[in-house]
Structure 1
Amino acid sequence: MTTGEIQHITDAEWEVMRIVWTQGKTTSKEVQQFLNQKMDWKTTTIKTLLARLVEKNMLSTEKSGNKYIYQSLVEEKSSIQFETAELLEKICAKEVGAVLKTIIDDSLLSFDDIERLEEALEAKKEYAVDAVQCNCTPEQHS
């Protein structure tokens, strides 16, 4: 897979990318067929979203006859890591633990997921600190 630069994408673009990641290569018609099960988007909406993702260098496109074939230029895992980092940058460092707990509380997890989380937390203990320092500007706290 060619690597594009990961960028923030909208929720709608994320829906399209999930289909492309699952399919590997796909057409706008196939994307619409999958999204019709979930959304009631018009063909023009799908094509606009695909065009935006191509402009953002998230998708490549090649013409095949009278249709275009789309393929991801970025890996799903890398995109998830990017979005996660972007989310965590928006909140106070002191709140990261609480946010992660909320995500865990609100998520359906398998036994394997829980085991991996337990292993990750155990490993984190080696570098844990007594208190996380706030990374906010003074104006953000009263």
Structure 2
Amino acid sequence: MVMNVLWREGRCPASRVVDQVAKHSDWHFRTVKTLLRNLVAKGFVGYEVDAQDSRIYYYTPLVDEEQYLQQERQQFLHLYYGGDRSSLLAGFLQDGKLSAAEAEKLRRMLNSSAEEE
């Protein structure tokens, strides 16, 4: 949610990020500020301090959405599945039914991936 605001708004003050996130969630402003701090630490977001008011921080996305999602997927895969993609996929398949269209799309992706190896 925080990254979506930054991708949409570009460079913006923390207060604007908090306001935009609050429209879609009940997150406290401290939660949003903590998320911003973590995103900065991971290198996804940069910030500048206002030259006239050191209490105002402007945040800017440093990665595009696909780069961010790829990194988050990899972290999730390694954290929860030890890097085993087949276990991750099997878990998702066991959790819910796929539509025929989803199954066909997945089949094509798997075939394409296997052919590349």
* TM-score normalized by the length of structure 1: 0.53
C-alpha distance in structure 1 between counterparts of 2:96 and 2:9, whole Å? 28
Which position in structure 2 is the counterpart of 1:76? 65
1:24 aligns with 2:45: no
1:126 aligns with 2:115: yes
**Number of aligned residue pairs:** 110
Higher percent of residues as helix: 2
Shift of residue 72, structure 1, vs aligned partner: 0.9
Which position in structure 2 is the counterpart of 1:60? 46
Shift of residue 89, structure 1, vs aligned partner: 2.9
Shift of residue 123, structure 1, vs aligned partner: 0.9
Listed as ranges, the gaps of 5+ residues in structure 2 are none
Listed as ranges, the gaps of 5+ residues in structure 1 are 1-14, 129-142
Q: CA RMSD in A?
A: 3.6
Which residue among 40, 47, 50 is the counterpart of 2:27?
A: 40
Cα distance change on mapping 1:107 and 1:126 into 2, 3 Å = same
Deviation track 1:96-139 (CA, whole Å, cap 9, x = no partner) reads 32421443665999x6x7665343222134267xxxxxxxxxxx
* TM-score normalized by the length of structure 2: 0.61
- The question of whether the paired residues in 1 share the 8 Å contact of 2:44 and 2:68 is answered with no
Which position in structure 1 is the counterpart of 2:106? 117
